[in-house]
A and B are shown apart, each in its own frame.
Chain A
Amino acid sequence: MTLLLLFNITNGLIVGAFYVLMALGLSLILNLSNVINFAHGGFLVIGGYIAYALTPYVGFWGALLLAPPLTAIIGLAVERVLIRPLYGRDPLYSLLLTFGLAFMIEDGTRFIFGPQGKPVAIPPFLAQPLSNDLFFITGYRLFMVAVVFIAVALLFILLRYSRLGVRIRAGTLDLETVAALGINVRMLRSLNFAVGIFLAGLSGVLAAGQLGLEPTMGTGLLMPSFIAIIVGGIGSLAGTLMGGLLIGVASGVTAVFFPAASEAVIYVLMAVILLTRPRGLFGEEGMMS
């Protein structure tokens, strides 16, 4: 029983790490540009399939390095052409547009790569379990968590210390003043969008190694990421981080006792949070209204 619980908590943490990576990207874009990026799952899929296409030539490690920046470049182009005209309009429009985009990406990947799942080969030494007792902790899972940890740490360092990061944080609080101080807000939004999409691409590569690739895989991860943001508190990246881990573990633990509810439990969690603490765990007063 303990082992089962441990197994599911580990599972939950790993799944939660995915949610975190997705949700942080979404959250960045949402905070600065007021855009709910429905196509975020689509960009995850793009990242995964780029990695799949690159692996035969550059190997897993090369794909891991190359796929996220390539995804970010695609994201940059999409932002420039499709999303930039919508800033300043009702958020409804960017929502609808990215929603349509998500359709196109899913259908496009199905058209190009076929509807069947595609495996991505991971280096053999990562596929081994660490020990016989803890059979479920493969090297790859540890590796994934490590990558997520490093990515998140880098993101927070970037936001805390770099000029770009300071501007993004300032823009989240008051974009108008940032613009008045002579900072190119369009550029800022583009770069911020690219950072968010980079994270989506990275989670795509990682997910590809763990679960294999399917055109629909992004959709399933999108909704938990939304909930991670709401639970953690809109406007707070630290909250998004905690929210993602929390719902991952919560659904993992529920899977032990009541498997059918393992997906529903995160919604219950959200309802409870919204009832007792409407701004979310780490949200600041007024950010959600």
Chain B
Amino acid sequence: MQSRKLIVLAAIWAVLLLAPYWMVPLGGYTALATRVLVLGLAAMSLNFLLGFTGVLSFGHAAYFGLGAYGAGLTLKYLALSTPLAIVAGMLLGGLCGAILGTLIVRRRGVYFAMVTIAFGQVFYYIAFQWSSLTGGDDGLRGFARQPLDFGLLKLDILTDANSFYYFVLFCFALVVGAMGFILRSPFGRTMIAIRENERRSRFLGIPVERHIWIAFTLSCFFMGAAGALYALVNNFADPRGLHYSQSGDFVMMAVMGGMRSFWGPLLGAAVFVVLQDYLSSVTVNWMSFVGLLFVLVVLFFPRGLLGFFQRSRA
């Protein structure tokens, strides 16, 4: 069992590491792979909360968007440094999440979802209205990711799509590694205990609210990092990235891939992004099809792709 897990893990990383080489012959392009990776990271960050703590946040796009704006504003006004921009985005998303988390954390179920949606929209309106800083409806433009300079080694991630992909993959690995590490720790086990039976966890003396708050905050930090990377992918930060419909997309990716598994959301993101990319190129009514996809997945594949395969194998 353990060895099979290792094989699967090795296979996943091999697929990710070789993506620029197999993607292009299959008709894709490297930038698409980069986007899948970043949105997959966002979906995994959301699933850290959704799938492993069992708390339904439907406003996580806000922290994703905050990460994007944090990175963009840093590059535009403060410092021409890519790593600094990512850190800034991550901090902005995470800290805002930490503050709002204190207001949200006592609610449960649908009410948690409602309050997260509503608070998420706050940032959308700020980005939308404060046009002198954020560019308003047009989004934040006028910045670009900067080549990395390690003294001896220079990496041109601005123009070379492949080296940018590997840079994103490196960041992805860092964040995903942190996520996996936390989930394996006693804290992560406690999160799962809360998901499985909140009342029993409470009786065991686990401070449930504090754990949920920590999980929420961590998930917002990860989300901020993903958002920062997304701003670097596009050299652009979009207010619609903060909107609740984006949150819906992230939840969809997590559910479609499989909420109960660690890697499921990445698979979900891959399917979702490729499908959306394809649909919007063939029909103007792609929104209907995406909506239909939501309905079909909920009705027929509620466990997601991975859950479906695991079940049919068993």
Q: How many residues of A contact B (CB 8 A)?
A: 45
Cβ-defined contact, B110 with A100, below 8 A? no
**A36-B113, A288-B107 are known contacts. Are A96 and B126 too (CB-CB below 8 A)?**
no
Partner-binding segment picked from B3-11, B116-124, B159-167: B116-124
Whether A229 pairs with B114 at a CB distance below 8 angstroms is yes
A57 at the binding interface (Cβ < 8 Å): no
The reply to whether B115 and A99 contact each other, CB–CB distance below 8 Å, is no
Query: B277-314 vs A: 1/0 string, CB under 8 Å?
Result: 00000000101101111110111001000000000000
Whether, in the assembled complex, B200 has its beta carbon less than 8 Å from a beta carbon of chain A, the answer is no
Known A-B contacts A34-B110, A91-B109; A267 and B287 likewise in contact (beta carbons under 8 Å): no
Residue in A111, A230, A278 whose CB lies within 8 Å of B114: A230
Cα–Cα distance between A100 and B248 once the two chains are bound (Å): 9
The verdict on B181 contacting chain A, using a C-beta distance below 8 Å, is no
Contact B255 A264 (CB under 8 A): no
Asked if B119 and A267 sit within 8 Å, CB to CB, the answer is: yes
Q: Is the CB of A106 within 8 A of B287?
A: yes
Interface string of B222-260 (1 = CB under 8 A from A): 000000000000000000000011001001100100000
**In whole Å, how far is A63's beta carbon from the nearest beta carbon of chain B?**
26
Given contacts A97-B299, A227-B118, contact A103 B129 (CB under 8 A): no
Q: Are B110 and A36 in contact (CB under 8 A)?
A: yes
The answer to whether A97 and B298 have CB atoms under 8 Å apart is yes
Given contacts A229-B114, A274-B115, A278-B106, contact A100 B251 (CB under 8 A): no
Q: Which of A81-89, A128-136, A141-149, A184-192 contacts B (4 or more CB under 8 A)?
A: A81-89
Considering residues B126, B251, B287, B293, which has the most beta carbons from chain A within 10 angstroms of its beta carbon?
B287
Asked whether, in the complex, the Cβ of A271 is within 8 Å of the Cβ of B103, the reply is yes
> In chain B, what residue has the closest Cβ to A264?
B125
* B118 and A226 within 8 A (CB): yes
Bound: A229/B119 CA distance, A: 14
Determine the distance from Cα of A25 to Cα of B114 in the docked complex, in whole angstroms.
15
CB distance from A77 to the nearest CB of B (A): 14
Q: Once the chains bind, are A86 and B125 in contact (CB under 8 Å)?
A: no
**Complex: A288 Cα to B113 Cα, angstroms:** 11
Segment 128-183 of A: residues with Cβ below 8 Å from B: none
Instruction: Pick the contact of B287: A35, A107, A261 (CB < 8 A).
Output: A107
Closest chain A residue to B292 by CB distance?
A: A104
A270 within 8 A of B: yes
Q: State whether A230 touches B115 (Cβ < 8 A).
A: yes
B108 contacts partner chain A, Cβ-Cβ < 8 Å: yes
**Chain B 170-207 per-residue mask, 1 if CB under 8 angstroms from chain A, else 0:** 00000000000000000000000000000000000000
Taking the closest CB of chain B, its distance from the CB of A25, in whole angstroms, is 15
A79 interface residue per 8 A CB criterion: no
Interface string of A97-135 (1 = CB under 8 A from B): 101111110111001000000000000000000000000
**Shortest Cβ distance from A266 into B: residue:** B118
B106 near A103: Cβ-Cβ < 8 Å = no
Q: How far is the CA of A90 from the CA of B129 in the complex (A)?
A: 35
Knowing A91-B56, A264-B122, A275-B103 are in contact, say whether A104-B129 is a contact too (CB < 8 A). no
Q: How many residues of B contact A (CB 8 A)?
A: 40
Measured between beta carbons, the chain A residues less than 8 angstroms from B297 are: 96
Check B295–A264 contact: CB distance below 8 A.
Answer: no
- Asked if A91 and B113 sit within 8 Å, CB to CB, the answer is yes
Flag whether A3 is at the interface (Cβ < 8 A): no
Q: Is the CB of B111 within 8 A of A92?
A: no
Pick the contact of A86: B56, B255, B292, B298 (CB < 8 A): B298
* Minimum Cβ distance to chain B for residue A217 (Å): 16
A91 to B54, CA, bound (A): 11
**B104: nearest residue on chain A (CB-CB)?**
A274
Known contacts A264-B122, A264-B129; is-contact A82 B295 (Cβ 8 Å): yes
User: Nearest A residue to B251 by beta-carbon distance?
Assistant: A96
**Quick check: A92 and B115 within 8 Å, CB to CB?**
no
A34 and B109 contacting across the interface, CB-CB below 8 Å: yes
Q: A91-B109, A230-B118, A264-B129 are in contact. Are A107 and B298 (CB under 8 A)?
A: no
Report if A104-B121 is in contact (Cβ < 8 Å); known contacts: A36-B113, A96-B251, A288-B107.
Answer: no
Q: Is the CB–CB distance between A223 and B106 below 8 Å?
A: no
Closest-CB distance, B244 to chain A (whole angstroms): 8
Q: Given the known inter-chain contacts A260-B129, A264-B129, please indicate yes or no for A107 contacting B295, CB distance below 8 A.
A: no
Q: Is the CB of B110 within 8 A of A91?
A: yes
Chain B residues numbered 95-113 whose CB sits less than 8 Å from any CB in chain A? 103, 106-111, 113
Q: Which 4 A-B pairs have the closest CB atoms?
A: A100-B294, A103-B291, A104-B291, A107-B287
Residues of A whose CB lies within 8 Å of any CB of B are: 30, 34-36, 38, 82, 85-86, 89-97, 99-104, 106-108, 111, 223, 226-227, 229-230, 234, 260-261, 263-264, 267, 270-271, 274-275, 278, 288-289
15 A-B pairs within 8 Å (CB atoms) are namely: A89-B302, A91-B113, A95-B58, A96-B298, A97-B298, A100-B294, A101-B294, A103-B294, A106-B287, A107-B285, A107-B291, A223-B118, A229-B114, A263-B125, A271-B119
Known: A89-B302, A93-B255, A97-B299. 7 other contacts (CB 8 A): A96-B248, A101-B291, A101-B294, A101-B295, A106-B287, A264-B129, A274-B103
